[in-house]
Amino acid sequence: MAVAQAPVPLRPHHLLCSLTYRGEGYSAAFITGYDRMIETLAAGAPIRIVEGPDVICAPRLGEPDCHCHEARIAWRDRQAAADLAPCLGQALPPGTELPGIVDYLPALRAAFAEGTLRKACSGCAWHDLCDQVALAGFAGTRLLPPVPSIP
Ligand code: SF4
């Protein structure tokens, strides 16, 4: 009998970040944790939406420049949740469980490239990099194969 996978705890805006992640990050520990989480998502793990720091934030929480508890990041989560809801067909309050992200990737990446999922990215230090990743059709991203770029 197959063993059920534990849900991956993710704050809403990290659903967006997972679309463009190519292995860059704040530290070696951050990247190692991110890579592991991406592998888990790619294997079809369910997701549990959380409020505040999540599994991606974990390696950052002891660092002096950690921003994971800041109000502007909580705003980013609220904006991402609002914009993701139509794509996912459901609201994303904390505690929501999603069956996974794999089946949603083409639609989410198309919406990201079109800009309809980017309001949460306002002010993010990685914004230009994520623009470039989307323009390149998500080539090199760690989460499953890329989809064609939008002309
Ligand atoms: S711009 Fe920032 S918030 Fe938006 S997907 Fe990229 S890393 Fe995440």
Backbone region of residue 123 per phi and psi (left: phi > 0; alpha: psi in -120 to 50; beta: other values): left
Closest by Cα among 98, 94, 96, 93 to 46? 98
Tens-of-pLDDT digits for all 151 residues of the chain? 666 889 999 999 999 999 999 999 999 999 999 999 999 999 889 999 999 999 999 999 999 999 999 999 999 999 999 999 999 999 999 999 999 999 999 999 999 999 999 999 999 999 999 999 999 999 999 997 544 555 5
Residue whose structure tokens are 């904006």: 79
Q: Decide: residue 72, CB within 10 A, 0-12 exposed, 13-18 middle, 19+ buried.
A: exposed
For ligand 1, pick from 19, 20, 30, 101 the residue to mutate: most ligand atoms within 8 Å of CB. 20
**pTM of the complete model:** 0.93
Whole-number Å distance between alpha carbons of 62 and 46: 27
Is the CB of 16 within 6 Å of ligand 1? yes
